[in-house]
């Protein structure tokens, strides 16, 4: 054992020294210098932080915040795993119940994550790719540089107007060019944050290629939404003149190209992610269904089902989605999926109520009455029990 | 500053300061043709009818301002029509009244409409059978939050008559204001005839 120890230590030291310089020497993986407990340094930055502190107080006390369980802690853990425990110390995470695919970060380290992002992410790596992007904005001080760029543009535009008026010169083209250069600046910031997020992923072990998949998935959902609304889906590679973000296609391609030059990464941790989100899934699904975007919601459900199979929960959500739209064909399919959900083990009595109401709308009164009576038997004290009783008694 | 002294000039100045469509006092007593429909009511106390509406099927009444208490009449929303004005029909179309609707679908229609228009965490709390102007109706309560994050409570009374939706809702901040005027709303809703 004593002889073995030096050999093992030598091998370990070699492994560490070999692995270390590879990452350190790779310029694509270099991270900004980390300053613990960073404090704002200039008048502008102090002002921004003051505003951010106030905004954070509102977020902290917002009725939209999900305080139940340890969801915020989990999201922060994913970020910490990605950017490292030390950098993570400067961040507070607030999860807000808003069914939109988004997250944002204030200059003072306050991160706001919307539940729409949690519903769409399929693994910790997908969530981390968005969190890393936002953290990139924070660490690169984009809030401050963006504010300065905006003020600079406004100052120049104002001076231009004065000088133009004095010299009787038409300044319209120059003013538009100034504005366009500002929007170009914000797009460059987004691209820089994308690349920084990728570096956090690659250094943490989450597969860097996942970042591009997130945008591919977002485009596919957008297509489904457009088709659902009866329109033709389109994607452009080039951003518009006044777009604040690069196009999704542009981002996906840039991220794919950059990820290809980085280490392959390890586990995306999809199972761990599903387990952590499971207690909140019914709530997230219910909020998404009520967005009334059938195309996008059906796409999200199918994407979840591709991972876990069509569980009772997903079938119930799909039935509710089509029931809400309520065309005759929707009601037909909804009643089938309600029954499939029951067969797949979805046990809540509300399924009987919603199946009964669907059948009633579809003119199948006898079957409807059976389902509604089953609901009333299971939930005699429900807040809508007398309403349902009246329907059972009067609807033919 | 020169202040006009003659009554005619004063009246002219008052007119100039008033928008083209102004809010209007609703005195106690019978009132017909609410929301350009067959809805009639007999308010027992004074209300203010706001000049702005949320769509062509609506009429808004208030006592202290629609942020503090708001009664909305939805008068005869026809099949295929949305409850409120569509802000972004292309990307966020609103749900519409369907021929196969049950009265239990009225709260769902309101909730989905509100959520698309920006309400968060809207929940239907209770539902019970009721009568609206002699027709089978649903009375329901709900709560929601708008962008200002003020917790609001609401109560609605809706019916489907001849394929058209008639609904009256009352909404106010949960803190103090909802309870302050809910009795006046209930008296108003009870006086509705169709």
* ipTM for the whole complex: 0.82
pLDDT at A248: 84
State which H helix or E strand residue A141 sits in: none
Q: With CB atoms and an 8 Å threshold, state whether B151 touches A98.
A: no
For strand B39-41 and strand A110-114, is the pairing parallel, antiparallel, or unpaired?
A: unpaired
Nearest to B121 among A97, A231, A384 (CB): A97
The residue ranking higher by pLDDT, A264 or B154, is: B154
CB contact under 8 A, A394 and B94: no
What residues in A contact B100, CB-CB < 8 Å?
A: 326, 328, 331, 361-362
- List, for residues A339-382, the tens digit of each pLDDT value: 999 999 999 999 999 999 999 999 899 999 999 999 999 999 99
**Could you give the CA distance from residue A365 to residue B148 in angstroms, rounded to a whole number?**
44
Examine the pLDDT at A205 and tell me if it is beyond 90: no
Judged by CB atoms closer than 8 Å, whether chains meet at B128 and A62 is answered as: no
pLDDT above 60 for B6: no
Do residues B55 and B87 lie in contact, with contact meaning Cβ atoms separated by under 8 Å?
Answer: no
| Mean confidence (pLDDT) of chain A | 88
- Choose the weakest-confidence range: A20-29, A67-76, B29-38, B96-105: A20-29
Gap from B149 CA to chain A (nearest CA, Å)? 7
Q: Which residues on B lie below 8 Å from A331 (Cβ)?
A: 100
The H or E element spanning position B43 is none
Q: Write down the pLDDT at residue B5.
A: 47
What pLDDT is stored for residue A27 in this prediction?
63
Q: Which residue has the higher pLDDT, B153 or A20?
A: B153
More confident residue, B130 or B89: B130
Nearest CA in chain A to B92: A293
Contact A372, A386 (CB under 8 A): no
Number of H helices, E strands in chain B: 3, 10
Residue A360 host element (H or E): helix A350-361
Sign (positive or negative) of CA dihedral B55, B73, A63, A379: negative
Q: Give me the residue from B101, B121, B129 closest to A64, CB to CB.
A: B121
């Amino acid at each position: 054992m004593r002889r073995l120890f030096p050999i093992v230590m030598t091998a370990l030291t070699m492994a560490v020294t070999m692995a270390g310089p590879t990452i350190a020497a790779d310029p694509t993986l270099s991270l900004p210098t980390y300053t613990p407990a960073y404090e704002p340094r200039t008048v502008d930055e102090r002002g921004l932080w003051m505003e951010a502190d106030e905004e954070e107080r509102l977020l902290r006390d917002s009725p939209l915040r999900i305080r139940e369980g340890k969801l915020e802690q989990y999201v922060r853990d994913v970020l910490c795993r990605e950017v490292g425990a030390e950098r993570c110390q400067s961040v507070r995470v607030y999860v807000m119940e808003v069914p939109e695919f988004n997250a944002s970060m204030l200059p003072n380290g306050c991160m706001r994550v919307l539940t729409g992002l949690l519903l769409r992410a399929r693994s910790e790596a997908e969530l981390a790719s968005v969190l890393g992007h936002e953290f990139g904005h924070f660490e690169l001080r984009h809030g401050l540089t963006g504010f300065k760029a905006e003020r600079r543009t406004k100052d120049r535009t104002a001076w231009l107007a004065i000088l133009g008026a004095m010299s009787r010169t038409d300044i319209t083209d120059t003013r538009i060019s100034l504005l366009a250069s500002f929007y170009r600046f914000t797009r460059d910031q987004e691209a820089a944050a994308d690349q920084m997020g990728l570096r956090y992923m690659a250094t943490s072990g989450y597969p860097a290629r996942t970042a591009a998949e997130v945008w591919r998935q977002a485009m596919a959902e957008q297509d489904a939404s457009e088709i659902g609304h009866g329109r033709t889906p389109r994607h452009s590679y080039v951003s518009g003149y006044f777009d604040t973000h690069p196009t999704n296609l542009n981002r996906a391609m840039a991220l794919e190209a950059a990820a290809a030059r980085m280490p392959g990464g390890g586990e995306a941790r999809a199972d761990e992610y599903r387990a952590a989100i499971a207690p909140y899934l019914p709530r997230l699904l219910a909020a998404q269904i009520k967005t009334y975007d059938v195309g996008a919601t059906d796409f999200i459900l199918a994407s979840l089902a591709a991972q876990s199979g069509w569980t009772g929960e997903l079938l119930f959500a799909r039935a509710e989605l089509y029931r809400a739209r309520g065309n005759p064909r929707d009601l037909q399919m909804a009643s089938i999926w309600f029954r499939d959900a029951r067969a797949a083990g979805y046990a809540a009595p509300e399924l009987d109520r919603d199946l009964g109401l669907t059948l009633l709308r579809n003119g199948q009164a006898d079957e409807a009455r059976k389902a509604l009576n089953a609901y009333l038997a299971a939930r005699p004290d429900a807040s809508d029990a007398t309403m349902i009783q009246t329907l059972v008694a009067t609807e033919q | 500053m020169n202040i006009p002294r003659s009554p005619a000039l004063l009246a002219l100045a008052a007119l100039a300061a008033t928008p083209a469509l102004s809010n209007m006092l609703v005195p106690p007593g019978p009132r017909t043709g609410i929301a350009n429909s067959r809805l009639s009511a007999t308010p027992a106390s004074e209300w203010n009818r706001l000049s702005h509406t949320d769509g062509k099927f609506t009429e808004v009444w208030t006592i202290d301002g629609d942020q503090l208490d708001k009664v909305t009449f939805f008068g005869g929303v026809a099949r295929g029509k949305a409850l409120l004005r569509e802000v972004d029909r292309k990307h966020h179309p609103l749900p519409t009244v369907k021929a196969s609707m049950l009265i239990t679908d009225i709260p769902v229609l309101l909730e989905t409409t509100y959520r698309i228009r920006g309400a968060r965490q809207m929940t239907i709390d209770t539902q019970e059978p009721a009568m609206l102007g002699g027709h089978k109706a649903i009375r329901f309560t709900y709560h929601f939050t708008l962008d200002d994050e003020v917790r609001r409570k609401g109560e609605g009374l809706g019916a489907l008559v001849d394929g058209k939706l008639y609904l009256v809702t009352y909404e106010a901040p949960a803190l103090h204001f909802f309870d302050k005027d809910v009795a006046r709303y209930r008296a108003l809703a009870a006086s509705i005839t169709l």
